[in-house]
Structure 1
């Protein structure tokens, strides 16, 4: 097994000590995942005090296993579980998350998802291809003659937030504010978040919710051809979304609709450039482009972990779980399982070994996956086509935001 100073594994007990804030870990977590696959793909992470799964088959199955879910308080009380009361200083964040698609289970999840799916998947996404292409070209026009750019601020940040705002019906000039709220909001999901992170997330959750509430009022009075109007005015089995459900759903769509894609644009460009392979071959046609995008999603996923509560007693990989236990599913590590993907640490754009799990699976499969894939399949080929000789101008630095994975900045240069 590879020796890593921040990782200590006891294969006999399957106990693992791993400091998620160690720069050598979060800068290149794939090395650690490979070591875990070699020693114990299912392990007890002592710092996190719970079991984690990295094997592709286990993660894929658990994402679909209805004995595990995103919430637990719909089947058990806090007293039964010995769970502390919610913290007062995160009450606005908790309120915004109360009806989040990411956090609820059927039947509520089924009702919300059915209403949103009709618009999100079929009505709006594919027709946005031309809009994405126009926007990407406009952004490249602004820096093409410079011969260098910091790609995240000038390109990667802008495309996903602009497109999801258009889709939902939020003014595009709100983009910078949406990014700020979103960055603060997702701070709640980082490992070892601080009290300051929590307070920032709570402030932004309140501001975000107040803003969305004002837009909802506008759309009730004057509906438009956008997703928010659709969610307000469409019923499912005689029921409409409540105000709180609309706010939670809009926030999660805005966050999930751009945060991970920003990371993935940067991650993808980096891995392509560091591979030394010819981008023109990767983006030769629609099929090679799709395979290249899926391979970047496999090897450098933007979101690494999803957690599940055990709802019914279950035995997985020789371990017994009871109601109220929590498990971690490391999607990014499942993408590196050598039993599924031979030579998993090698970037191979022509791979065809099955689906990666970067967008999850089961009823919580990422609702924004079609939009994210479309943005990547349009934006990445354009970058490499428009900027010949594209290369790294400095060593990329990874952000300390585990369990997300993205870059602080991405400095590029090319021939002019």
Structure 2
């Protein structure tokens, strides 16, 4: 069944209700067809598969991201990812409960102030030579083979190595860190079986146990790294207790690579689809920055960001949410809203209406955005400078992981 057929069949336009599985193969591979239909017919709708109101328009999403009547913190009990029986998710929930991403002021303000000092643009810019050297070193490993899967060979090692080095966590632990992260992130797909839940809980338990041991080592022998800085702050008084520290580090390690890996793959796919010499997109620093922004807009790595209502809010006429109810903000759809962008599905780094909500907005704007932008700018430029003849070895397919968006593989030849 085509996406348009599924939309027409599953939509009640009078009641603004939609039944459409985010795991439908056609939707997984190209959600933008659905977004285009929604923009035209139902930009605000109740997504029955999720059980909450969702919003696709750029202006509405941008406004709601900044609206303090909504927040990430669940003030009514355990996260509503699965049913009420969550005893088997105790370790996972313990990590989530103290995560910077899931908190609101004043706890959020305190944690973000501590962590933010390592991610401001002037600090991140110092990492540019390291990222460039790393990108070259990775390409050196596979350049003579004539082919590679760029996801494990290039897209993953750059952000994993950089965030591990920033935190002072052993870089050789990279594969294990990625595995723990992937197993935890599986909890955010729409449906999980019991084994996925148990596996995510084991990953959270093992991840936290490793970090607690490493924190003990760092207390005894501090280094010049973010983890030591956070430990020192927690020792100074009412800054970070150990649970907050562990949750913060897990979030930084997970978020520090997950989205950038997906975005690197998505960007390579986007640029190769344009044809011609890809180096033309990276001729100057300004062109490189503009290219990355357009890649972030046109095929973002995160397509939904949920928030809780903290009071009764009429979002639009006929759409009122009550305290404790969630809403879904469709970042990927907002970035392609024809009311906000001229020819939104056209790749145009020079567009005059360049803007996106890929990193969110408001107090939960992604703390790692400057780092992600730098890694993408440097990594993509080095990749295409070194391998201008890069071409797809097969048509890449997207993973069934909505609301994230990333490729299964990125097999290329050069």
Q: Could you tell me the TM-score, scaled by structure 2's length?
A: 0.95
Give the deviation of 1:48 after TM superposition. 1.2
Distance of 2:316 and 2:232 partners within structure 1? 46
The equivalent position to 1:33 in structure 2, one of 25, 35, 46, is 35
Distance of 2:287 and 2:388 partners within structure 1? 19
Counterpart check, 1:279 vs 2:278 = yes
Q: Deviations over 1:186-227 (max 9, x none)?
A: 011111122221111100000000001111111111111100
Moved over 4 A (4+): 83-86, 235-238
Distance of 1:280 and 1:304 partners within structure 2? 28
Distance of 1:208 and 1:92 partners within structure 2? 10
Distance of 2:155 and 2:391 partners within structure 1? 16
Q: Deviations over 1:237-293 (max 9, x none)?
A: 952210000000000000000011111110000010012254222111111111110
Give the deviation of 1:85 after TM superposition. 4.8
Counterpart check, 1:94 vs 2:93 = yes
Give the deviation of 1:320 after TM superposition. 1.3
Distance of 1:289 and 1:109 partners within structure 2? 33
Distance of 1:277 and 1:86 partners within structure 2? 54
Residue of structure 2 in register with 1:157 after alignment: 156
Q: Could you tell me the TM-score, scaled by structure 1's length?
A: 0.94
Counterpart check, 1:109 vs 2:111 = no
Distance of 2:361 and 2:276 partners within structure 1? 31
Distance of 1:271 and 1:235 partners within structure 2? 43
Residue of structure 1 in register with 2:183 after alignment: 184
Residue of structure 1 in register with 2:209 after alignment: 210
**1:6–1:19 Cα contact (<8 Å) kept:** no
Cα 1:217–1:238 shift into 2, 3 Å: closer
Instruction: Please provide the CA RMSD for this pair.
Output: 1.8
Distance of 2:77 and 2:395 partners within structure 1? 49
Distance of 1:312 and 1:93 partners within structure 2? 28
User: Which 5+ residue runs of structure 2 have no aligned equivalent?
Assistant: none
**1:313–1:320 Cα contact (<8 Å) kept:** yes
**1:393–1:411 Cα contact (<8 Å) kept:** yes
Give the deviation of 1:125 after TM superposition. 1.6
Distance of 1:67 and 1:236 partners within structure 2? 34
Give the deviation of 1:121 after TM superposition. 2.0
Residue of structure 1 in register with 2:326 after alignment: 326
Distance of 2:84 and 2:21 partners within structure 1? 28
**1:56–1:334 Cα contact (<8 Å) kept:** yes
Q: Deviations over 1:167-194 (max 9, x none)?
A: 1110000000001000001011111122
Distance of 2:224 and 2:304 partners within structure 1? 35
Distance of 1:234 and 1:247 partners within structure 2? 13
Distance of 2:274 and 2:360 partners within structure 1? 26
User: Which 5+ residue runs of structure 1 have no aligned equivalent?
Assistant: none
1:65-144 pair list within 5 angstroms? 65-73=67-75, 76=76, 85=84, 87-121=86-120, 124-144=123-143
